[in-house]
Structure 1
Amino acid sequence: MAVLRLPSAARTFATALIGRLSYGTVFLSLTLALATGHGSVSRAGEVVAVFAVALAGLAPLRARLIDRHGIRRVLLPLALSYATALVGLAAATWRPATPLWLLELLAVAAGSAAPPLGPTMRTLWRTMCGEDQALMQRAFSLDTVAEEVIGISGPLLVGLLILVANPATGVLLSAVLVAVGTVAMMTSPVIGTVSARAAAQASAGSTEGGNGERRKGSGRTMSRSLSRILDILDPVSAAAGVGIGLGAQSLAIVAFAVRHHQPSAIAWADAGMSAGSILGGLAYGAISWRISSRARLPLLTAALGLSVAVAALAPNVWVLTAITTASGVFVSPLMACAYLVADELADERSRTSAGMWVNNAFNAGSSGGYAAMGPAIARMPLSWCFVVAAAPVVVGAGVAQAWRSRTGSRQAQPLSDATAETEALSV
């Protein structure tokens, strides 16, 4: 693939994937270690929930720190702190007598320090691809497909590991993966390029500012944060809608398979969606599109929403699996497009944060959709549950299209002198 032939691209991407594999192994490993070592699924769920909330809740802050202070100064300390906390969790879950408060404290520490390797890698893709939008599309498609593969291979790796070792070993493996991957990633020349550019920009901003302006700029932090989110509202709304819809759909699939007395079909439906997503992502990256990424985003989102709604017509689990496979074809392209739009609309000093907002919108939406579908399944026909799941996806497409129409076809533009000065003062 062309993007991997860019200078240092294959090396940087490979090391980032090693670290990102940690996120594919840690949740299942931690859940199994707690459930088997402490004999309580409810306790396992409580600790994992604490970990997930800390990980997602502080994600924008960690991304913003990288944008402000540079990758090397922030990402490596975060990764090593995260790995240390995971080692502590591995040791604690190995011992059945560990008190719950200590497990939750370690889970908060790990979740709070989790390094944003995915958003950081997408920032590095921009550096390596420059202003070549075709290359950026291929790079983001490859990156999104890789995340899908990690989502499949991580749990499989844990499943093999627990056949021969204590489940807590999987937590320890997660710590090793993120530490080794991030340390190796720091040796990439691309990191040096980004760090040097960030240092030069920070120095220039400091020279232009002055203490008086710094005090005046400090009162504008909230408005700047809101402005950044509004700047990328179309990809964030699309990602949130997709997350809610897919989260709701996943629980509806479980209910469908159980009611048809074929619970094993759940795995087939999930595998079909993942396979479709991988194939769709690879195809999307290879196509030369004639319309802009902002124009593509609502179209892809609407197509996914309609495909989710079609599941309402499935008469059996095998047709449902075929439909979810077809739905998956839109998932990776849509998320790659959302990340690309966020990258285009963000200024150079907030690209990591922009990607993190899109990522967080999807993850938060997925959790919320899964939780909200439970009452819906209890109150309405199952076929209508798939229509309900499709609704937020279609709404997300509508919001993305409406915001695009309102703000025009603006792509990333150089900051005005006044805006650049204000941004520099907040660093």
Structure 2
Amino acid sequence: MSDNTVDTTTRNAGGSPEAEDTAAPRPGYGRLLRTPRAWTFLLPGFAARQPFAMLTIGIVLLVQHTTGSYGSAGAVAAVTGVSMALFAPQGGRLADRFGQRAVLVPGVLLHAVSVATLIILALAEAPLWALFAAAVPTGASTPQIGPMVRSRWVALLTGSGRAPAAERGSGPSLLARTGPGADARGRDASARALLPTAAAFESVTDEFTFVIGPVLVTALCTGVHPAAGLVAEAALTLVGGLLFAAQRATQPAPGRPVTGAAGAGTDAPAGRRVSALAVPGVRVLAVAFLGIGSVFGGMQVSLTAFAAEIGSPGVNGVLYGIFAGGNMLAGIVCGAVAWKTGPRRRLLAGYTGLALTSSVLWALHSVPLVAALGLLVGLCIAPALISGYTLVESLAPVTARTEAFTWLTGSVALGQAAAVTAAGGLADAYGASAGFTVPLVGTILALSTLFALRSRLLPKSAGRVSARGLGHRAPVTVD
């Protein structure tokens, strides 16, 4: 399809609240990656987000080496994950209010110091409570690069929440160069059509980090030193985070009050700053993403227990690699396909598939069957993740987008931490099959929540401005 294809919602004056479901085919990855200035934050962002997949496994390997206990290692890692989940949205809210740079610079410095403290305490064989005390700031200060990159994509592609011109530099923005009139409106629609592709690209990038991050940490901890994995994590966080923070040209503008369509999905009066959780749809998505976290956490522990039960511990890496590979493959496809259904329907369909595939894992006892079903589970995760992140762009106010993204990321982390604990206890007591029931329960509960509250995933302003032919989007002055 042509890159200049215009969203059908701009021509449908009588559109329904889900008029965006019939959006015209969008451009693909090539057009997305040619977006001006995108690579200035993508490259440092990739380096800075890599530690997100290295931290937990690095803590487990180090603490298990110094204490000899997987239980203690898992407990310290769980404290880190819970701390990250609880503090990440607060960091996102501060980034929306004061700017990403203002939060990132002190955050990565604190993270480096916290990780160094945790390493020193672990090597000194400090008591478990001291490791817990160091794990709290370690998790709380983990930079949320993924949500910040997603927020930059939204600002870059929609022109909303952009940094002031003096801060961006002299280069024109993507939408500023389009010029006035109908051609400008067509290009604006074409740029907005890239948002689902950007969400898919970010999901693939996230999954890629979870493919190579654990491998890198394991190699460093086993081949160099038990603490080498965490040292690398802290170094990448510090260097990558500072380089990412230095890219001020693409940073969304901080401190803007909610006005007009910027507060879509909320009842907040104009000029008042609102939290992302004030939006009902964001709350629903945050609960739903706990289920996705339960799949990640439950699969990690249960696959490990399954490999140990059959006497082939080494097959664990292969099985989890197949699961992660399915997720990454589905993410690539989701970004390349021009969907004719909206993100809300795709979210419900993806989650239905995720619940169905997760419900059979506990009954399998052979490596080929577990590998095949693990691939299917991975294939269903990406559509749910990508659709959820795409919905946030239309639900959350401009001034709370980073916070909204971090609520979803934090929910995944919290669900993962809870699932690791629950699946570990069940696997110890009843075997790997019992551990596989954690993804089953988590996805069914999340799917039930989505179906019961699916009406809240529609932006409130959709019905108010649909007569203008723009769905939930901001009205545009016609020349």
User: Above 0.5 in TM-score?
Assistant: yes
CA distance in 2, matches of 1:83, 1:412: 44
Q: Single out whichever of 96-105 and 79-88 deviates more from structure 2.
A: 96-105
CA distance in 2, matches of 1:319, 1:187: 48
Q: Single out whichever of 324-333 and 129-138 deviates more from structure 2.
A: 129-138
With normalisation by structure 1, the TM-score equals: 0.81
Aligned CA distance change for structure 1 residues 2 and 413 (closer, same or farther; 3 Å): farther
2:173 aligned partner:
none
CA distance in 1, matches of 2:112, 2:314: 35
Q: Note if contact 1:347-1:412 (Cα within 8 Å) is conserved in structure 2.
A: no
Is 1:68 the equivalent of 2:118?
A: no
Aligned CA distance change for structure 1 residues 408 and 106 (closer, same or farther; 3 Å): closer
Q: Single out whichever of 225-234 and 10-19 deviates more from structure 2.
A: 225-234
Is 1:357 the equivalent of 2:416?
A: no
Which residue of 277, 280, 286 corresponds with 1:230?
280
CA distance in 1, matches of 2:358, 2:45: 32
Q: CA deviation at 1:189?
A: 4.3
Give secondary structure in 2 for the equivalent of 1:166: coil
Q: CA deviation at 1:354?
A: 0.9
* Residues 319-358 of structure 1 aligned to structure 2 (within 5 Å): 319-358=369-408
CA distance in 2, matches of 1:31, 1:255: 16
Aligned CA distance change for structure 1 residues 129 and 414 (closer, same or farther; 3 Å): farther
Q: CA deviation at 1:71?
A: 1.1
CA distance in 2, matches of 1:375, 1:56: 21
Q: Note if contact 2:53-2:213 (Cα within 8 Å) is conserved in structure 1.
A: yes
CA distance in 2, matches of 1:75, 1:90: 22
2:88 aligned partner:
59
Q: Per-residue displacement from partner, 1:43-95 (whole Å, max 9, x unpaired)?
A: 544443333332222122111111222112212211122122223333444x4
Is 1:274 the equivalent of 2:324?
A: yes
Which residue of 333, 337, 342 corresponds with 1:287?
337
Q: Per-residue displacement from partner, 1:93-130 (whole Å, max 9, x unpaired)?
A: 4x435565554433323222222211111101101221
Which residue of 232, 246, 268 corresponds with 1:173?
232
Q: Single out whichever of 380-389 and 292-301 deviates more from structure 2.
A: 380-389
CA distance in 1, matches of 2:67, 2:432: 36
Give secondary structure in 2 for the equivalent of 1:232: helix
CA distance in 2, matches of 1:315, 1:168: 35
CA distance in 1, matches of 2:422, 2:134: 29
CA distance in 1, matches of 2:63, 2:423: 27
- Matched to 1:112, the amino acid is A
CA distance in 2, matches of 1:310, 1:261: 22
Aligned CA distance change for structure 1 residues 400 and 104 (closer, same or farther; 3 Å): closer
1:198 aligned partner:
254
2:245 aligned partner:
186
Q: Tell me, which stretches of 5 or more residues in structure 2 are unaligned?
A: 1-29, 159-188, 260-268, 466-479
Q: Note if contact 1:91-1:168 (Cα within 8 Å) is conserved in structure 2.
A: no
2:147 aligned partner:
119
**Percent identical:** 26
CA distance in 1, matches of 2:438, 2:141: 36
- Matched to 2:353, the amino acid is A
Which residue of 66, 77, 96 corresponds with 2:124?
96
1:208 aligned partner:
none
Q: Note if contact 1:347-1:413 (Cα within 8 Å) is conserved in structure 2.
A: no
Q: Per-residue displacement from partner, 1:258-306 (whole Å, max 9, x unpaired)?
A: 4544444333221111111111100010011111111211111001111
Aligned CA distance change for structure 1 residues 97 and 379 (closer, same or farther; 3 Å): closer
Q: Per-residue displacement from partner, 1:179-227 (whole Å, max 9, x unpaired)?
A: 11111112324345x2xx324x25x98xxxxxxxxxx99xx99xx6595
CA distance in 2, matches of 1:252, 1:102: 29
Q: Note if contact 2:277-2:404 (Cα within 8 Å) is conserved in structure 1.
A: no
Q: Note if contact 1:346-1:412 (Cα within 8 Å) is conserved in structure 2.
A: no
Give secondary structure in 1 for the equivalent of 2:403: helix
Question: Larger % of helix: which?
Answer: 1
Give secondary structure in 2 for the equivalent of 1:167: coil
CA distance in 2, matches of 1:165, 1:244: 32
Is 1:106 the equivalent of 2:156?
A: no
Which residue of 139, 155, 162 corresponds with 2:198?
139
Q: Note if contact 1:294-1:409 (Cα within 8 Å) is conserved in structure 2.
A: no
Q: Per-residue displacement from partner, 1:379-413 (whole Å, max 9, x unpaired)?
A: 98977875674343234223223322356465789
CA distance in 2, matches of 1:315, 1:49: 28
- Matched to 1:160, the amino acid is A
* Number of equivalenced pairs: 395
Q: CA deviation at 1:5?
A: 1.3
Aligned CA distance change for structure 1 residues 185 and 409 (closer, same or farther; 3 Å): closer
Q: Note if contact 2:95-2:254 (Cα within 8 Å) is conserved in structure 1.
A: no
Aligned CA distance change for structure 1 residues 311 and 37 (closer, same or farther; 3 Å): closer
Q: Note if contact 2:422-2:435 (Cα within 8 Å) is conserved in structure 1.
A: no
CA distance in 2, matches of 1:111, 1:334: 25
Q: Note if contact 1:47-1:107 (Cα within 8 Å) is conserved in structure 2.
A: yes
Q: Per-residue displacement from partner, 1:205-253 (whole Å, max 9, x unpaired)?
A: 8xxxxxxxxxx99xx99xx659525231342232122323453455444
Q: Single out whichever of 234-243 and 137-146 deviates more from structure 2.
A: 234-243
- Matched to 1:106, the amino acid is A
